[in-house]
């Protein structure tokens, strides 16, 4: 509910009335953390991502991988690091294929956002970057 400046008395009246009811609970919304990137909005608490106000549906693993890479933007994150953090397990030697499978699916879903890049660093891992208009990564 929103009140304009000239409705302050109405707001005060409502608050006074509510104070008469001690069982009435006041709820407040906590601030939501939003990771905003060019063309992409990540809402970790809701486990949702949006591009131009349109939701992009991701699996749980895809979402976790994207968040990890986005938070480490510009840094190489190894297959082992991704596997340990997303699967909460120690690497088994097959993590390159497992992580790679999910990143391929993630790339397909994010291809509508040309400024974002999930670069494969051969035999090491992935690096999330933002490609500027002059073809340079940020």
Q: What is the pTM of this model?
A: 0.73
**Contact between 83 and 99 (Cβ < 8 Å):** yes
CA angle 101-66-116, nearest 5°? Answer: 100
pLDDT tens per residue across span 68-121? 999 999 999 999 999 999 999 888 888 899 999 999 999 999 999 999 999 999
pLDDT at 66 over 80: yes
Once rounded to an integer, what is the mean pLDDT over residues 35-43? 91
């Amino acid at each position: 509910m929103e009140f304009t400046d000239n409705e302050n008395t109405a707001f005060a009246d409502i608050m006074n009335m509510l104070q008469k009811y001690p069982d009435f609970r006041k709820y407040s919304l906590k601030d939501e953390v939003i990771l905003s990137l060019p063309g992409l909005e990540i809402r970790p608490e809701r486990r949702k991502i949006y591009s131009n106000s349109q939701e992009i549906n991701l699996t749980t693993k895809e979402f976790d991988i994207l968040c990890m890479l986005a938070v480490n933007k510009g840094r190489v994150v190894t297959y082992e690091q991704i596997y340990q953090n997303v699967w909460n397990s120690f690497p088994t030697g097959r993590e390159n294929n497992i992580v790679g499978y999910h990143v391929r699916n993630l790339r397909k879903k994010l291809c509508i956002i040309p400024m974002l890049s999930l670069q494969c660093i051969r035999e090491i891992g992935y690096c999330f970057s933002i490609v500027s208009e002059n073809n340079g990564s940020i």
